Structure 1
Amino acid sequence: MKKLFPLLIAGGLLLCASRSAMAFCYNEAGARYHVDPQLLRSISKVESGFNPGAIGYNRNKKGQVTSRDFGLMQINSTHVPQLRTMGVLQSEQDLLTKPCLNVMVGAWILARHLQVCGVTWECLGSYNAGFADDNTARRMLYARKVYADYMARR
């Protein structure tokens, strides 16, 4: 038991350190892109359940994979070429192994969306459902999920 105690303490400190590091990531991304960090947390909760290694597969009506989503904020693979060109990442793997980078990229994407369509819940829904005219219902369903989590955190 005496040998186990230091391991338990060290594990607890790592858990606390990782939680405070993640809190810092959301706060830093929010400050950089002028987005409420609590909103970023809520998006991360809805998108991945706070799983930094989450990979989602988007399929067309025939069931074929059309794109993938990576990490905490489920960054869509369609963004990877631009992010590589900008020097933000070397590969899509960076979105899974660097959770703070993932949150920062998610905040950047959300901020760009809000610049396009304004600060509304439907616009926030475009983070998940895109801008297509026929996606209004999907945007609002997503926005309601984020809103419910957001209000629960307040």
Structure 2
Amino acid sequence: MSKPTTPSGACPCGGAALASCCGPYLAGTALPPTAEALMRSRYTAYTQRNEDYLRATWHPSTRPQDAILDPDEELRWLGLEIKSALRLRQRKAELPDHPDSDTVEFVARFKVAGRAHRLHEVSRFLREPDPALGGEVRWFYLDGTFPK
């Protein structure tokens, strides 16, 4: 599958312009510098139905074997909200300080067959060498939990 072109306009993740926000990551011309930037770019990839990017940024130890996206699903993404950084710092205070792991809490809103839904997740990310990029260090999505 070829890489999608970067359209102009606002970035689906909430950034001002796709070309200066998630676009370079999706095009493969840059790597997200933080776990939050990766999370935002993965949201944008979902809105664009970019299976290749989602696979490339999912940690190999937890990456699904089957398709990530269902081509027949009538899904429309409506918006992304990154939750308070303060809450994340408080939650991370209980964890050992590790610069190559991070969490991002978010709420993504979407519609399936005209019905509104929201996904509230605390995602875990790891930064490590990527063999597919000649060992260049990058962030990967590991997994997530769903707060009550």
- TM class by smaller structure: under 0.3
Structure whose residues are more often helix by fraction: 1
TM-score, normalised by the number of residues in structure 2: 0.27
Structure whose residues are more often strand by fraction: 2
TM-score, normalised by the number of residues in structure 1: 0.26
Bigger Rg over Cα: 1
